[in-house]
């Protein structure tokens, strides 16, 4: 049985995401001026960082649902863990791809072995393993394993966040735009907030939709067994 609040959350998040993402596209491509150093390519920053923050939130949901599933063995938390892990992986993929585009323009290379990029690649690989485990292993047997993997993967998020602090700025390339108050134009701040909120709402909608589908699949398998 799918809770009523779950469907309500899905509908509200979907509507909010549609409005904010469209507003973000309009702001980023029609209103925000070019950044003085990076030029037009700086516009990818809003989606790159917004997707990263939304990915961290999705992975946080995967962590919490993984812990709750291990304690309760509830199909709902299992479906929520699967959905959050898949959505987190999707958003991490967007972060990697958009970061490579930005990096090629800024550094003339698609990838550099520096702390933030390496730790984020590790996070992406862990959740790639999570998705493959869910896709190809036996669902009943892999549920606990996937929950544990999502918990372990979530523990790397603080490492990713703090990675730019591990070495002096001279030893790394990844910019610290927000920390260094690089969003100086008011429209930069507005576009960043709208894009981040829009992608976060989009993340919630995807998790709600995917977990509803996953819970329906589990209910169907249960009825077939009975």
Q: Is residue 42 part of a domain?
A: yes
Residues in the chain, how many? 226
Residue 121 structure tokens: 């690649």
Q: Give how many domains the chain has, as a whole number.
A: 1
Q: Is residue 51 part of a domain?
A: yes
Tens of pLDDT, residues 99-132: 888 877 767 777 777 777 888 999 999 999 999 9
Q: Is residue 167 part of a domain?
A: no
Between residues 102 and 60, the one the model is more confident about = 60
Q: Is residue 65 part of a domain?
A: yes
Q: How far is CA 119 from the centre of its chain?
A: 15
Q: Is residue 81 part of a domain?
A: yes
Contact 126, 154 (CB under 8 A): no
Burial class (CB in 10 A: 0-12, 13-18, 19+), 151: middle
Q: Which domain holds residue 118?
A: 4-161+173-225
pLDDT of 161: 79
Q: pTM of this prediction?
A: 0.87
Tens of pLDDT, residues 142-178: 899 999 999 999 989 988 877 666 666 555 555 555 4
Euclidean distance between CA atoms 168 and 176, whole angstroms: 12
**Which of 123, 173, 168 lies closest to 150, judged by CA?**
123
Q: Is residue 127 part of a domain?
A: yes
Q: Is residue 135 part of a domain?
A: yes
């Amino acid at each position: 049985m799918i809770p009523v609040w779950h469907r309500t959350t899905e509908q509200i998040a979907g509507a909010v995401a549609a409005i904010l993402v469209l507003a973000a596209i309009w702001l980023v491509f029609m209103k925000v001026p070019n950044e003085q150093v990076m030029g037009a390519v700086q516009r990818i920053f809003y989606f790159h960082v917004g997707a990263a923050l939304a990915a961290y939130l999705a992975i946080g949901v995967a962590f919490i649902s993984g812990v709750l599933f291990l304690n309760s063995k509830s199909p709902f938390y299992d479906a929520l863990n699967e959905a959050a892990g898949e959505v987190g992986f999707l958003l991490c993929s967007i972060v990697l791809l958009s970061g490579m585009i930005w990096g090629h323009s800024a550094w003339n290379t698609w990838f550099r072995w520096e702390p933030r990029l390496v730790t984020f690649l590790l996070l992406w690989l862990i959740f790639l393993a999570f998705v493959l485990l869910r896709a190809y292993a036996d669902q009943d047997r892999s549920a606990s394993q996937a929950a544990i993997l999502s918990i372990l993967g979530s523990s790397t998020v603080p490492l990713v966040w703090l990675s730019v602090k591990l070495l002096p700025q001279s030893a790394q390339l990844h910019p610290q735009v927000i920390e260094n108050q690089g969003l100086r134009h008011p429209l930069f701040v507005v576009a960043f907030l709208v894009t981040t909120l829009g992608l976060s709402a989009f993340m919630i909608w995807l998790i709600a939709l995917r977990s509803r589908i996953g819970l329906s699949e589990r209910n169907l398998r249960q009825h077939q067994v009975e």
